[in-house]
Structure 1
Amino acid sequence: MESQRSFLLIGLVLVSFLLWTEWQKDYGPQPIQPVESTTELPAAANGVPSATPAPNAQSAVPEDITQQSLQDVPGATPIAGDNANGERFVTVETDALAVTIDLIGGDVVVADLKLYPEEQGSEEPFQLLQATNPGLYVAQGGLIGPDGPDSNPSGRPIYSVASNQFTLDGDTLSVPLTWANSEGLVITKTFTFARNSHVVDVSYTIQNGMTDNARVQQYAQLKQTTILPETGSMFMPTYRGSAYSTQDERYEKFAFGDFEDESLRIATLGGWVGMLEHYFVSAWVPPQDQNNTIYSNLLNNEFAIIGYTTPAVVVAPGSQETISSTLYIGPKDQETLAGLARGLDLTVDYGPLFWISQPLFDLLQWLFSISGNWGVAIILITIIVKGAMYWLTKKQYESFAKLRVLAPKMQQLKDRYGDDRQKMSQAMMELYKKEKVNPMGGCFPLLLQMPIFLALYWVLLESVELRHADFALWITDLSVMDPYFVLPVLTGASMYLLQKLNPTTVQDPMQQKIMQWMPVAMSIFFIWFPAGLVLYWLISNVITIIQAKLIYRSMEKRGIQTH
């Protein structure tokens, strides 16, 4: 096995892997769903779930947010009630978030991530949630059931608020919204924000001033239009869709196409639901010690809805109860997400090689903490990985050298046996055995290194820490392709030098041409790869050249012929 063939193998394995990834997204087998709950949650035509069946439960469902004008968000639309200035929307500013809350339903309809610009160098923050079409993407929640205001047939509740503008001054900020009916039921929906955080606590305090028990049930859901432009490419595939977790499945994707085929109805302890968008995620997390029901719905064949309901609560007359959920709106920060719920950190989807990707990311992050530059961290991790794999590289190049020495004898066998493949194969095996050469000795080390390369590929593609990460000179974003194609060209040149270092003994003219053009083909592939990954490959090639020279020099000192 020659080094040039190794380059061809690398290219074929990589392209095959990426093609397989793309095929799986559209045509791959769908996961078997967990056992469905025996409690039905009828999918209402307007998107808000019906409550768990209960005595005297109201079956009517309120008007959905998509039937109410949101085109003026964040401008104000007058509504009935005693809200400050008679405005419909409440704006909340923290150091990390700029949020707009709709007083009709108390939904989060706009969320700007102030620490993450839309474009590199832009002053405009990345907008994760938005209330305008096309692109509607909102986080809804409320109380349903016999006494839940979101089950009122006249429409969703209109909350009151003391002010329409809130700004975080201390470490936390509470935004209370209040709703009351004529019978004495008072509900306070409170959003609690924290400094330098994308986590929002959402609680409902139910004060029952009625003469009968109040029966309510919490729901929380994410709604997003399915009519979205395609993101990513074959070489930089990204997932945009929903996901959820159950007691049995820590992380399960539920693509927009899945909403057309089935509706989720899953009872589980804990769990969560989310919507993913490459580097960012929104997620609702219910109390993890309760039995919740996860559901999905496709509204008007346009809006995908995924959410959950928590157990029904009965509040006695003259008493009060508080129930809550957690809303996360922000980047895929693995440490934060892992602390919120089991499996939520898996929304940073490193694919099947996550068990390699995760320690590589941890090492990369540690190296960044030392160097202060993600490009330098990539160079350092390349040196560490190549150093750790040196023994495999040594075996690989020793095998290359031995096979080159055998090349004349191989040609003699070919001349002797001609087209008799069986005798040729037997003679080759006898020659390998006599000379103590393993024909797979150069290929096996390469195959062991490929998972590391692919795992690092997903680290560089999925980790939000590398979004807009500056390196040096013209490389201002390691997560996108090199704008001037310098790194791909240098990588191709380094592959050409490796070819010269390991001249081919292949006699077939067609194979020779393939090997000669392989560096060019790989350079073209690398044009669309993230600059950080191409940087890794380039440095890896340079280190391999140095290692190969050292290995050959050591072999020559030991009297082993290398050419």
Structure 2
Amino acid sequence: MENQRNIILAVVLTAAVLFGSQYLIEYFYPAPPPEATDATQADAVDSAASGVTPAPSADTGDILDAGTDTAAAPTVKPVTVDSALGTGQRVAIANPLVKGSINLVGGRIDDLTMTEHRETIDKGSDPVRLFGPEGTDAQYFAQFGWLGQGIDRPTSETVWSADGETLTPETPVTLSWTNATGQSFSIRYSIDENYLITATQSFTNSGNAPVTLQPISYVSRTSKTADVGTWIIRTGPIGVFDGAANFSWDYDDVSEAANKTAEPEGQVSWLGFSDIYWLSALIAGEGSEVEGRFVNTNGDLYRSDLLYEAQIVAPGATLETCTRLYAGAKNVELLDSYTEQGITLLDRAVDWGWFYWFEKPIFYLLKWLFDAVGNFGVAIILLVVIIRGLMFPIAQRQFASMAAMRAVQPKMKAIQEKYADDKTKMQQEVMKLYKEEKVNPLGGCLPIFLQIPIFFALYKVLLLTVEMRHQPFALWIKDLSAPDPLTPVNLFGLLPFEPVSFLAIGILPILLGITMWLQFKLNPAPTDPVQAQVFSIMPWVLMFVMAPFAAGLQLYWMVSNVLTIAQQKWFYSRHPALKEQMAKDAEEKARKKELEAAEK
């Protein structure tokens, strides 16, 4: 087997890993079918959207207003975020990473922007908005409350009182409300230096009779602003149930489930909604019996519910529940630190897939290099140098195997000519030749097999991690997680049109094609004419294939090709006989072409 065949194998396997692994995973390990939740309870929660308090039921009684009911709610033209934030009383939220506010009407967190992340690479771009008020195109908020029977409890229309004006890491804020019978409710909000908000719900029964209450928290969002998932990156409803991350549901699955409600089995650790870079997750209190579900409340509106076990609160007693809300960027190191602090598998909110055990070390190595040099493009180049350095001894063996294969080519040709009519005998004689000459035809495959997981890991890192989002390299490369934007098709932007995606071949993909062509030219030429034709066009085909991929991935492959070319040059200097043999083969090939042309 020649080196060229190894490269073909590399391309095929790389494509299989990139485009087939998740499909195979889902094929052999399909998601469990949606299960219907209790219809009475789900319908009761949904019906509260109209603002009308439903009649108490045997199961839930009066409930928390939670979203929009299809039958009861009229179609309302969305309001702008600015106008929605300009009405009513609010408590500001501020820490190093987020800015926003809590709406005292309903006590909900419906205004959060991430100060470190911009919508585009433009420095003047607005910060990324995660949460937006109800009724806007950016609707996305978290609310905390209670289900209960025979008690006047707070709803989404309740106006709360606050004991502070700004929620910061140093200054928690408590919202309080007392009903007509003197029973008091409160929600104490606190926030850390990052994206974690803690909501401590408290109810004190100052009445003369016991009260049954069920604490609830939920996140409501519109799917209009949701990232579209793929078979490589899963987005949408997400959670950890019985100690396992569950990506089984998407928005369509929830809409098509019985009663438009999906209720995964198992004890809930956390649940919420995931985009490629952002996460909202309700984290259940430790030691609590909790159920979780996802509900399609109306059209493009969805909700993730965290339902605690109903409890009887005796006169004079207090019921307290603590729920945490992660609302922010899926920073890998931050999620890992929260996981180490006891939030079960919060780090799996980043959809690493089955190969997380390999992808995360590549990420941390790349992150360490970035911290050292301050540029992700340079970090990627250094990553290539490190990987090629570690693989140098293996590459030496690969080249030695290629040289040995080249040396036995004349004998192989003789065998092929002698047993042209007997393929079985030919194979036997070829294997005998390999054994006698101590040649391993697969000796050159190992470096390729090692490169495939590294390549795939970098692909996932560039695609998934918010740390790579909008990271520049140099010159025209302003975002390594996006394709190379500069293409000669429109004269590098001088012509006023955007070429279609399959023609928008940037400079990096072109350099990738050229370096691959040079690399193939340094390899021994295939003896099979079909193989030769395939290798003559493969660099240019891959140039088109790689054009839509992240510039960081293109940079990695191009630099890897350059180092491979340098390695091959050095190896040829150590094995002059191989280079001379290649020259002889090229001359012989040229003579054959001349003879064929003369015969015609």
Q: Give 2:206's aligned amino acid.
A: G
* Match in the other structure for 1:333: 331
Within 5 Å, give how 1:226-245 maps onto structure 2.
Answer: 226=223, 231=228, 237-245=232-240
Structure 1 partner of 2:140: 137
User: Displacement, 1:162?
Assistant: 4.3
Residue 489 of structure 1 corresponds to which residue in structure 2?
510
- Answer yes or no: is the 8 Å Cα contact 1:273–1:284 preserved in 2: yes
2:191 match: 193
Aligned-partner Cα distance in 1 for 2:296–2:37: 21
Alignment match of 2:209 (pick from 207, 212, 231): 212
Provide the residue aligned with 1:75 in structure 2: 83
Q: Which residue of 2 aligns with 1:515?
A: 535
Q: Which amino acid aligns with 1:378?
A: I
Counterpart of 2:295 (choices 281, 294, 297) is: 297
Whichever residue aligns with residue 137 of structure 1, its letter is Y
Given residue 505 of structure 1, which amino acid in structure 2 is its aligned partner?
P
CA shift, 1:253, in A, is 4.1
Aligned to 1:377: 379
CA distance in 1 between counterparts of 2:385 and 2:465 reads 21
Q: How does 1:458-477 map to 2 (within 5 A)?
A: 458-477=460-479
Structure 2 vs 1, CA of residues 230 and 176 (structure 1 numbering), >3 Å: closer, same or farther?
closer
**Secondary structure of the equivalent of 1:15?**
helix
Q: Which moved more, 1:8-17 or 1:175-184?
A: 8-17
Distance 1:27 1:103, change over 3 A: farther
User: Structure 1 pair 229/65, CA: closer, same or farther in 2 (3 Å)?
Assistant: closer
**Structure (1 or 2) with the greater helix fraction:** 2
The two structures, once aligned, show a CA RMSD in angstroms of 3.5
Say if 1:356 and 1:27 are closer, same or farther in 2 by CA, change over 3 A.
closer
Matched, 1:16 2:16: yes
Show CA shifts across 1:38-90 (max 9, x none).
Answer: 999832265389xxxx9965435454333497735443599xxxxxxx82655
Deviations 1:268-312 (A, max 9, x none): 455100211111111110113222112222223533322221233
- Aligned equivalents of 2:375 and 2:85: distance in 1? 47
Q: Which segment is superposed worse, 379-388 or 66-75? A: 66-75
> Partner letter of residue 238 of structure 2?
A
C-alpha separation between the residues in 1 aligned to 2:5 and 2:47? 58
Taking a change above 3 Å as real, the CA distance of residues 497 and 266 of structure 1, as seen in their structure-2 partners, is closer
Q: 1:322 aligns with which of 309, 320, 323?
A: 320
Q: Any conservation in 2 of the 1:268–1:292 contact (CA below 8 Å)?
A: no
Cα contact 1:185–1:206 (8 A) shared by 2? yes
The structural deviation recorded for 1:166 is 3.9
Measured against aligned partners, the alpha-carbon deviations of 1:357-411 in whole angstroms (never above 9, x if no partner) come to 1111111121122112211211112111111122222222222222222222222
Aligned residues: 543
* SS of structure 1 residue aligned to 2:344: coil
Offset of 1:24 from its aligned partner?
6.3
CA deviations 1:465-507 (Å, max 9, x no partner) are 1111122111111111111222211121111111121132232
Judge conservation of contact 2:46–2:297 (CA < 8 Å) in 1: yes
Give the aligned partner of residue 526 of structure 1. 546
Q: How does 1:159-558 map to 2 (within 5 A)?
A: 159-162=159-162, 166-167=165-166, 171-194=169-192, 196-226=193-223, 231=228, 237-259=232-254, 260-261=256-257, 263-266=261-264, 268-269=266-267, 271-338=269-336, 339=338, 341-484=343-486, 485-508=506-529, 510-556=530-576
Structure 1: distance between partners of 2:322 and 2:65:
23
- Relative to structure 2, which stretch is displaced further, 540-549 or 126-135? 126-135
Q: Secondary structure of 1:297's match? A: strand
SS in 2 for 1:6: helix
Cα distance in 1 for residues equivalent to 2:528 and 2:264: 62
The alignment partner of 1:173 has SS state of coil
Mapped contact 1:62–1:156 kept (Cα < 8 A)? yes
Displacement, 1:117? 0.6
Stretches of structure 2 that go unaligned for 5 or more consecutive residues are: 49-55, 487-505, 584-600
Q: Is the 8 A contact 2:284 2:322 kept in 1?
A: yes
Whole-Å separation in 2 of the counterparts to 1:77 and 1:359: 43
SS at match of 1:278: coil
Q: Give the stretch that moved more between structures: 287-296 or 112-121.
A: 287-296
Residue 22 of structure 1, CA deviation:
7.0
Counterparts in 2 of 1:559 and 1:91: CA distance versus 1, 3 Å: closer
Deviation at 1:455, TM superposition (A): 1.4
Q: TM-score, normalised by structure 1?
A: 0.86
Output the amino acid matched with 2:107: G
Quote the Cα distance in structure 2 between the aligned partners of 1:505 and 1:209.
88
Provide the C-alpha distance between the structure 2 equivalents of 1:434 and 1:115, rounded to a whole number of angstroms.
Answer: 64
Q: Identify unmatched segments of 5+ residues in structure 1.
A: 79-85
Pick which of 425-434 and 406-415 moved more: 406-415
For 2:566 and 2:47, the matched residues in 1 are separated by: 63
1:354 Cα deviation from its structure 2 partner: 0.9
Amino acid paired to 2:563: I
Which one is further off, 100-109 or 36-45?
36-45
